Amino acid sequence: MDSLQGMSAIITGSAQGMGKGIAMGLARRGVDVALCDVKKDILETTANEIREATGQKVITGAFDITDEVAVKAFVVEVEKGFGKIDILVNNAGIHPLKPIEQIEGKEWDLVFAVNVKASFFFCKAVLPGMRKQKFGRIISISSEAGKNGGTVAALHYAASKGAVLGFVRNLAQQVGSDGITVNAIAPGRIATAMSGAVSPEENQKFINNSITKSLGTPDDIAYAVCYLASRKASFVTAETMAVNGGTLRD
Ligand SMILES: NC(=O)c1ccc[n+]([C@@H]2O[C@H](COP(=O)([O-])OP(=O)(O)OC[C@H]3O[C@@H](n4cnc5c(N)ncnc54)[C@H](O)[C@@H]3O)[C@@H](O)[C@H]2O)c1
């Protein structure tokens, strides 16, 4: 794979799970990483783990990514700390499980605020710097559920992950001439706290339906992110990369 050495990245929702795996994967390839999450304590532990394992610079921000003012302030801090931002990974997400009858309008808005609107805040904040340097890699974590509706009751989640696909396809067209690519990854079921909240029976169904007969790992997603973030992936944009063990073959 083309070297990522010397790049710098923001990864949202990176205290744990996939975001942590992505941050570690990028840092192992020479990328300075800025982590943000609402989980302050775990965030600092993760940051130290990455520093010790890779020797890369790590910046942390403990804030709610639905707060546009906090997002802007963090982007300014990271630009100052690293001198630039090459990669943005919109990873943070929430996945409340409940049937339509139990979803209140407030929760619907929260799911869209975290899973979609916060990515808009981050993209808006990092784009001036990326346009200036004529290089950028924006990668948003969608989900298989954004394509097939998912297999568990989470209407707002599936709808928000479908929205991410339209988001990347539109933004890619607006920024492509400035050397910026915008792509999505649609993971299948990945072994994290989020999939741990789904019943073991549901996870087993996913495994049975997969070609690999397994759940994925944060590392599987990290490797896909590293490819899309690389300089040589410059002709890949507005794309949704499936990383799902072959469960959804579309
Ligand atoms: N695990 C799966 O099977 C799976 C499958 C497909 C897609 N995804 C997507 O992958 C991404 C990562 O999921 P995960 O499995 O690692 O979940 P996770 O719950 O382990 O991690 C999500 C992280 O996002 C953070 N976060 C949530 N709301 C936030 C907010 N408002 N501000 C800041 N941080 C916030 C959480 O604190 C948490 O650390 C999500 O977008 C999720 O929808 C997960």
Angle between helices 155-175 and 118-133 (to 10 degrees): 20
Side-chain half-sphere CA neighbours of 137 within 13 A = 25
The residues carrying an active-site annotation are 157
Query: How high is the pLDDT of residue 1?
Result: 62
Pocket lining: 67 vs ligand 1, CB cutoff 6 Å: no
Per-residue pLDDT of the chain (250 residues; tens, 9 = 90+): 668 999 999 999 999 999 999 999 999 999 999 999 999 999 999 999 999 999 999 999 999 999 999 999 999 999 999 999 999 999 999 999 999 999 999 999 999 999 999 999 999 999 999 999 999 999 999 999 999 999 888 999 999 999 999 999 999 999 999 999 999 999 999 999 999 999 999 999 999 999 999 999 999 999 999 999 999 999 999 999 999 999 999 8
C-alpha of residue 25 to centroid of ligand 1, in Å: 17
Pocket lining: 64 vs ligand 1, CB cutoff 6 Å: yes
Residues contacting residue 211 through CB under 8 Å, at least 6 positions apart: 245, 246, 247
Inter-residue contact 25 to 139 (CB < 8 Å): no
Q: Where are the alpha helices (DSSP H) in the chain?
A: 17-28, 40-54, 68-82, 105-112, 118-133, 145-148, 155-175, 193-196, 200-209, 218-229
Inter-residue contact 180 to 136 (CB < 8 Å): yes
Pocket lining: 236 vs ligand 1, CB cutoff 6 Å: no
Where on the phi/psi map is residue 233: left (φ > 0), alpha (ψ -120 to 50), or beta?
alpha
Residues contacting residue 225 through CB under 8 Å, at least 6 positions apart: 22, 25, 26, 89, 139, 185
Q: pTM, whole model, 2 decimals?
A: 0.98
Pocket lining: 140 vs ligand 1, CB cutoff 6 Å: no
Pocket lining: 187 vs ligand 1, CB cutoff 6 Å: yes
C-alpha of residue 163 to centroid of ligand 1, in Å: 16
Rounded to whole angstroms, what are the CA distances from 196 to 65, 158, 202, 245? 23, 18, 10, 18
Q: Which of 10, 11, 18, 142 has most ligand 1 atoms within 8 Å of its beta carbon, as the pocket-test mutant?
A: 18
C-alpha of residue 193 to centroid of ligand 1, in Å: 8
The closest residue, in CA terms, to atom 21 on ligand 1 is: 17
Domains and CATH numbers, the chain: 8-240 (3.40.50.720)
